Structure formats: structure tokens, C-alpha cells
């Protein structure tokens, strides 16, 4: 069996806000074709680390390498252009567009985005658009959203919006997905469905995931590897069963023990 290689490497990341150091040398790797969870108590720095990786924040120190490329300090669109796509804690759908239209705007580098191509390569543009429609419909069908394709996104439930955001990310043909608390605020049935979609995408399409998540039952069920953050540092790594045997992890997080002060993350 071929050994999986790291697709993402985070080394000694640091980030401060004023006098508060939110991330203090966090480091870990995500193996290609795996589902890795980033967990930790409130204030651990999880969301800050995600924002540093995805380009929403610039690190004070440290490096982020993705597929062998140093993307440290890249802007979000540059990170996405390399195939690293992220979702957010709060769904960011286009509410006044239909579900289908939300997927249609997701592919990067569309011909129609360029004025010259839209005006003088209309044949190619129309052919590409038909391909995107077919692809979007297939993805909506896989995610159980086909019946709502003509519904305005604002009318979807919270859980359906989570599914739509994941479907939009898949539409962009990512090499890796970062999901920021994808299970937050949705019912158990949809939690199970999202977990099943993640496993399907990993097994059938070779997708790689880094997921920030507080639901440890979900983490244990779908994740291959778990990284524990505490006050901005990497506290431990392993499977959930291994981490449950780690006294420091249990004290710091799994039983809700104190880990010291930090910013919300």
C-alpha cells in the first residue's frame, strides 16, 4: 500500500492581535487523501490558524506549504487558485441567487470572467457553460439538493445551506478542503449526511480535508487523524482513541479542563 504524503504542512505559525498572542508556534501536517480534524477548547486558536492557512490573515512568523509550494502570506484568491478551498463557520451563500446559480459561480478561471473571451470566444464560453450546468446538476443530485435547484438560497434551512456550501466547494475542483465547523447548529440527521458526503468524497474522489470541529463523535467517526490545539500551540496529535489516553489532552480539552487564557478560536 502506497504511503500517503503530506499535502499541507504548517510550521511554527505565530499570530498576535495587539498584546494577545493567539497562535504560538502551531505546527502539523495533513496527509493527502485523509480527513484531519483540528480540535481544541475555545481560545485554542483554531479559527486563527485556519485564517492564516487560507490567506485571510498574514502570519507574524512561520510557514505554510501546500503541495510543495510556500503559500505563506498568499491572499485568499491565490490560495484558492492553488486548489485549497475553505468554508466558513457561518454559511456564505448568495441569498438572492438560486441554488443552481450558487454552484455556477464557483469554478475558478471561467472563460466568461474575461471580457475578451466573453466577446470573441462565445462558442467556447457557451460550451463551457453547458458543461458547468451539467456538472452542477450532478453535484446537486449527489448532495440531495437537485429538487431545490431553482429555489433561492436564502430560503434554505441552516443544514441545507451547509450542504450547499460543501457542494459549492466541490464545484471548484479543490485539491483540499478546509471546513470551519461544518456541523455547527444543524440537526443530527444532516450532521450524519455531511459526514457521509465527506467519507464518500475521500474514498471515491481522493479528497483531502482539514476540519475544525467541536463534535467529537463526528471527529471519531470520520477523521483519520486529529490535531489538538491549546492556547495557540499544537498540544498533541493522533487518533481520537489515542488522544483519549493522553492525560494532558484529557485535562486540557476532552474533559473541559483549564488550558489557560487565549483568544476566541
- Contact in structure between 38 and 53 (CB atoms under 8 Å): no
Cell numbers placing 205? 474522489
Distance between start and end Cα atoms, the chain: 37
Q: CA-CA distance, 48 to 56, in Å (whole number)?
A: 9
Going along the chain from its start, the domains and CATH numbers come out as: 6-93+174-254 (3.40.50.300), 96-155 (no CATH)
pLDDT tens for the chain, 265 residues long, are: 456 799 999 999 999 999 899 999 999 999 999 999 999 988 899 999 999 999 999 999 999 999 999 999 999 999 999 999 998 766 788 899 999 999 998 775 544 444 444 454 555 556 767 888 999 999 999 999 999 999 999 999 988 999 999 999 999 899 999 999 998 888 898 899 999 999 999 999 999 999 999 888 999 999 999 999 998 999 999 998 899 888 888 877 655 444 433 334 5
* Strand segments (E) across 201-257: 209-212, 225-230, 233-238
Strand partners, 66: 8, 69
In total, the chain counts a number of residues equal to: 265
Model-level pTM? 0.85
- Contact in structure between 241 and 226 (CB atoms under 8 Å): no
Amino acid at each position: 500500500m502506497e504511503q500517503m504524503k503530506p499535502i499541507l504542512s504548517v510550521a511554527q505559525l505565530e499570530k498576535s492581535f495587539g498584546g494577545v498572542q493567539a497562535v504560538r508556534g502551531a505546527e502539523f501536517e495533513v496527509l493527502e487523501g485523509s480527513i484531519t480534524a483540528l480540535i481544541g477548547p475555545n481560545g485554542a486558536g483554531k479559527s486563527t490558524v485556519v485564517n492564516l492557512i487560507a490567506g485571510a490573515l498574514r502570519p507574524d512568523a512561520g510557514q505554510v506549504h501546500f503541495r510543495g509550494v510556500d503559500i505563506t502570506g498568499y491572499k485568499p484568491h491565490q490560495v484558492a487558485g492553488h486548489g485549497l478551498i475553505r468554508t466558513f463557520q457561518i454559511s456564505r451563500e448568495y441569498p438572492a441567487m438560486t441554488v443552481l446559480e450558487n454552484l455556477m459561480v464557483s469554478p475558478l478561471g471561467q472563460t466568461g470572467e474575461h471580457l475578451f473571451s466573453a466577446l470573441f470566444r462565445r462558442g467556447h464560453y457557451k460550451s463551457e457553460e453547458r458543461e458547468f450546468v451539467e456538472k452542477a446538476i450532478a453535484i446537486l443530485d449527489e448532495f440531495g439538493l437537485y429538487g431545490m435547484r431553482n429555489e433561492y438560497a436564502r430560503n434554505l434551512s441552516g443544514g441545507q445551506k451547509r450542504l450547499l456550501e460543501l457542494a459549492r466547494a466541490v464545484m471548484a475542483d479543490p485539491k483540499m478542503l478546509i471546513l470551519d465547523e461544518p456541523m455547527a447548529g444543524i440537526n443530527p440527521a444532516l450532521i450524519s449526511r455531511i459526514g457521509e458526503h465527506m467519507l464518500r468524497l475521500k474514498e471515491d474522489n481522493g479528497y483531502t480535508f482539514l476540519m475544525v470541529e467541536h463534535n467529537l463523535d463526528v471527529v471519531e467517526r470520520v477523521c483519520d487523524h486529529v490535531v489538538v490545539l491549546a492556547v495557540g500551540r499544537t498540544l498533541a496529535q493522533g487518533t481520537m482513541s489515542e488522544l483519549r489516553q493522553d492525560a494532558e489532552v484529557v485535562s486540557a480539552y476532552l474533559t473541559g479542563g483549564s488550558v489557560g487564557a487565549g483568544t476566541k478560536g
